[in-house]
């Protein structure tokens, strides 16, 4: 017999929302199991039971925003740390990109629960996703995420000669980090001092550590794409809304 699971976990598995959102909706009485309202946190359901949400939940979710920011150097992705400001402080009416094509109007309430869906180191720049939508956060940083991320990485070889072809192959597949083999990556030369990395995972400072393993020093790192969404012409320090037609 199949074991029951927490209702919030089941809602996340079904792609209805994040677990945090699920708990909020359960408390508000917006969730039904087999047609019956369930408002007790921690309630469990069987996989065959039908889970539905009230219209208010869908309406609230539709108002949640996802913002694309071109993060400059010197800002941290999440909470403020070591005197450095979080990237979210850059999101305001004045810093919105003039060429943003969405009709959405900015309101300070959009900053509430706006969290980074994936990190970008303090000394890295480029595309950072900030979202209020738990479904997008799960899609980008969930354990089973299949969304790839693309980076331009300026490097300097610290050993005599040039990077051997065998070490370029190791960057693509063959390195071990934190005791585990890294997933296959796609790493190619963009020009004589710049590599293009495409990854499907995001360990802390992964690219810098990968480069260090083969004698490369990272001079600059810029994220230019997450799944189907590109940084494009978005200026440094400015932001825009994710368009309705864009999908990660």
- The predicted-structure confidence for 135-166, as pLDDT tens digits, reads as follows 888 888 877 788 999 999 999 999 999 999 99
Find out whether 40 and 57 touch, Cβ atoms under 8 Å. Answer: no
Single out the catalytic residue among 23, 82, 121, 144: 121
Average pLDDT in the 65-78 region?
95
Average pLDDT in the 95-99 region?
97
Quick one: fold of 5-62?
3.10.290
| Domain 5-62 matches domain 66-145+229-241 at the CATH topology level | no
Question: Of all residues in the chain, what percent carry a pLDDT higher than 90?
Answer: 73
pLDDT tens, position by position, 105-125: 998 888 988 889 988 999 999
Nearest C-alpha neighbor of 152 from the set 209, 202, 191: 191
Average pLDDT in the 80-100 region?
92
SS3 assignment, position 151:
strand
Task: Confirm whether 193 is a catalytic residue.
Answer: no
Per-residue pLDDT at 70 exceeds 90: yes
Q: Please provide the CATH number assigned to the domain covering 66-145+229-241.
A: 3.30.70.580
Domain boundaries, the chain: 5-62, 66-145+229-241, 149-226
SS3 assignment, position 90:
helix
Average pLDDT in the 224-248 region?
96
Q: Please provide the CATH number assigned to the domain covering 149-226.
A: 3.30.2350.10
- Tell me if the pTM is above 0.85: no
pLDDT tens, position by position, 127-137: 999 998 888 88
pLDDT at residue 197 in the model: 98
């Amino acid at each position: 017999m199949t074991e029951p699971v927490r209702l919030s976990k089941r809602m996340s598995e079904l792609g209805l929302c994040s677990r945090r959102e699920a708990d909020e909706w359960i408390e508000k009485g917006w969730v039904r199991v087999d047609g019956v309202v369930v408002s007790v946190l921690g309630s469990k359901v069987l996989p065959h039971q039908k889970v539905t949400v009230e219209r208010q939940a869908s309406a609230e979710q539709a108002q949640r925003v996802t913002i694309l920011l071109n993060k400059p150097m010197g800002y941290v992705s999440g909470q403020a740390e070591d005197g450095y400001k979080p990237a979210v402080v850059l999101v305001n009416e004045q810093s919105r990109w003039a060429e943003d094509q969405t009709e959405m109007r900015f309101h300070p309430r959009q900053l509430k629960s706006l969290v980074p869906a994936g990190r970008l180191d303090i000394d890295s720049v480029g595309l950072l996703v900030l979202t209020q939508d738990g479904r997008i956060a799960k899609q980008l940083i969930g354990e089973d995420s299949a969304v790839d991320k693309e980076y331009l990485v300026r490097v300097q070889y610290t050993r005599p000669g040039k990077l051997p072809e065998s070490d370029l192959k190791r960057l693509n597949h063959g390195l071990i980090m934190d005791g585990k083999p890294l997933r296959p990556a796609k790493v190619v030369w963009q020009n004589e001092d710049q590599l293009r990395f495409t990854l499907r995972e995001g360990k802390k400072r992964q690219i810098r550590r990968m480069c260090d393993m083969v004698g490369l020093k990272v001079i600059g790192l810029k994220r230019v794409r997450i799944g189907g969404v590109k940084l494009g012409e978005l200026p440094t320090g400015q932001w825009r809304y994710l368009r309705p037609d864009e999908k990660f």
